[in-house]
Amino acid sequence: MTSSLSKLSNVLFRKKTFEGGSHLNSQMKRCLTILDVMFIAIGHMIGAGIYVLTGSVVRNQAGPAIILSFIFSGFAALLSAFSYAEFGARFPRAGSAYTYSYVGMGEIWAFVVGWTVPLEYMIGNAAVARSWSGYFDSLVYKSVSNWTLEHVGHLSDGEGFFAKYPDFLAFVLLFLVAVAVAMGSKFSANVNTSFVVLNLAVLAFVIVCGFTYADFSLWSGNYPDGTSKFFPYGIQGAVSGASTCFFAYIGFEALATAGEEAKNPHRTIPLATFSSLAIISVLYVLMGASLTLMVPYDQIDPDAAFAAAFEMKGATVAKVIMSVGALAGMLNNLVTGAFALPRAVYAMADDGLIFGWFGVINSRTKTPLNATIAFTILNAILALVFDLEALVDFMSIGTLLAYSMVSVCVVILRHEPQLIDGSETEYDDGGNLKSWVPFRGFWHKFSEGISIRCAVGTLIFGYVCLAIPFKTGIFSNPGGIILLIIGAVCSLTAFILILGHEQNKSTTTYKVPFVPFLPCLGLLINVFMMVYLNLMTWIRLFVWLVIGIVIYVCYGIRHSKEAKKLNRVASSHMSVLKNGDSKVH
């Protein structure tokens, strides 16, 4: 029984390894510059969110303090970006978080992350396609939807998962974007760059135009009832707004899927990551400032904030330009989403965990054409017939799960022994317990790496215990107090144990500073936000994972290339032993 469990554990937690410089080998063409990769991230972050999310947060959560909300949420995104930058430079592969989890945590965890990320991209792309279609429809006075309802009819009453009517415009749009992406990485990067430049120009115009109407009295002093004009919802409102604004930064991780196509990825990925986040953060803060200085926060239309604000000021030209920017921004989202989705699928197929057909690279375009075609069809069907509003939260949990796993992997890999440069047998002190750690004798009984994994697992458990009382508001309840105490004790104990491990020193590419402080802080924020998601989102995740695990058990375990590599090594060792025995006899 023990032997069977040990074998199962070895299978589920086997890690992906790279020999020498094999992590740089790729069937794809390395043709993307820093600017190309940076614009992939910017294009995925700038979209409908900057035009819609800003107004909603200003009106309902933060008021003018939204600029602080964007700063807080930008810092939270930066914590996860540090980890992505290290792994993107260290292991520049198309799989992004999936590959990083494979290297750091093992095959089963990699599959869990890899299985959720494609669905996140599919739902996101379909939702943006429907948003683009709806926005365009509103500009042409609902002529598209009215024609569809008149000539095709209703799909549903709009209350369930099915949309009120089939969205043929979104369906066609996804195929057009897929054609551009399938024509080659450089071509799709150029298309994306064109839309990013257009969108940045529109945003610059909107910011400048907004500041020409600035009234700084809207920020200073108090209203007659004593409410602060800058903090109408208090500091709590700014913090609450930050949790919502965080999702405006989701998308920077898309650039990590370009790791196999980036020139000099060791330098390109970190620079593109931090540059894109810096540019987006400045834009978000300036957009929030220009909006709240134009009109009082309580007069802002949460659904069309900037357009309505310019209309109130009589700036018709600015309103029209805003519409162009919104359409360009959503196209940015679609192009980068369509770029990232097949690469996330290709990485899993290339490792043998899902059907190998998805891992075929087209010889002419050097892109994962099969994955692009198959998932564009699924994407287009989603956009055609489903009302995706109920599924949008699923995007959040997939992203947060990936962010959390990457932070965990940084902590674990940083505390594992690494070969000393120039040696094939000598390892550094990574993972060794420091002399001041209590119960060192107890931990030495376990195999290498168990103590750091136990510490990280306990840390996550502690974070969950801390988050639940905040989510449910049961601070005064004895159960809530007990959870807080358990969470605090577990988190503190686990963090001290992590600090008690030596870090390895051999990584020569970009490294996250202040480990384990920054990754653990990023993990805390991600865990809190996952706990705040509703129960139905978790149920959907569970169902989706069950489907994935069935595929993994029936196909992935047997076809895993990492398993085949380990079997070859084992066979080689057996041959050496047999040859040695025969010589002795």
Considering only residues 473 and 563, tell me which one the structure prediction assigns the higher pLDDT: 563
- Please report, for residues 107, 224, 335, 449, 461, the alpha-carbon distance to residue 454 in angstroms, rounded to integers and kept in the order given: 18, 56, 41, 9, 11
User: pLDDT > 70: what percent of the chain?
Assistant: 89
Express each pLDDT in 111-160 by its tens digit: 999 999 888 888 888 888 988 888 888 778 888 888 988 888 877 776 66
Q: Provide the H-helix boundaries in 213-264.
A: 234-245
**Residues 394, 439: contact at Cβ < 8 Å?**
no
Considering only residues 270 and 326, tell me which one the structure prediction assigns the higher pLDDT: 270
Express each pLDDT in 274-289 by its tens digit: 999 999 999 999 999 9
pLDDT above 60 (res 332): yes
Single out the residue of 541, 529, 530, 550 nearest to residue 123, CA to CA. Answer: 541
Express each pLDDT in 52-66 by its tens digit: 678 888 998 899 999
> Which tokens is 162 given?
């099915």
Instruction: Kindly state the DSSP code that residue 114 receives in the 8-state scheme.
Output: H
Mean pLDDT of the 427-448 span = 76
Specify the pLDDT at position 175.
96
Specify the pLDDT at position 389.
63
Express each pLDDT in 336-359 by its tens digit: 989 999 999 999 999 999 999 999
> Which tokens is 231 given?
């903090």
CATH number for the domain running over 2-410: 1.20.1740.10
Task: Output the CA torsion 34→38→39→44 (10° steps).
Answer: 150
Domain boundaries, the chain: 2-410, 415-533
Kindly report each contact of residues 387-393 with a partner whose C-beta sits within 8 Å and lies 24 or more positions away, as own/partner: 387/156, 387/158, 387/160, 387/161, 387/162, 387/163, 387/164, 388/123, 388/126, 388/127, 388/130, 389/127, 390/161, 391/123, 391/127, 391/161, 391/540, 392/123, 392/127, 393/533, 393/534, 393/536, 393/537
Q: How does the average pLDDT of the chain come out, rounded? A: 85
What gap in Å lies between CA 342 and CA 257, rounded to an integer?
A: 9
pLDDT-wise least confident of 192-206, 221-235, 413-427, 501-515: 413-427
Instruction: Kindly state the DSSP code that residue 162 receives in the 8-state scheme.
Output: B
Considering only residues 217 and 476, tell me which one the structure prediction assigns the higher pLDDT: 217
Residue 321 corresponds to which amino acid?
I
> Which tokens is 516 given?
């384990």
pLDDT above 80 (res 24): no
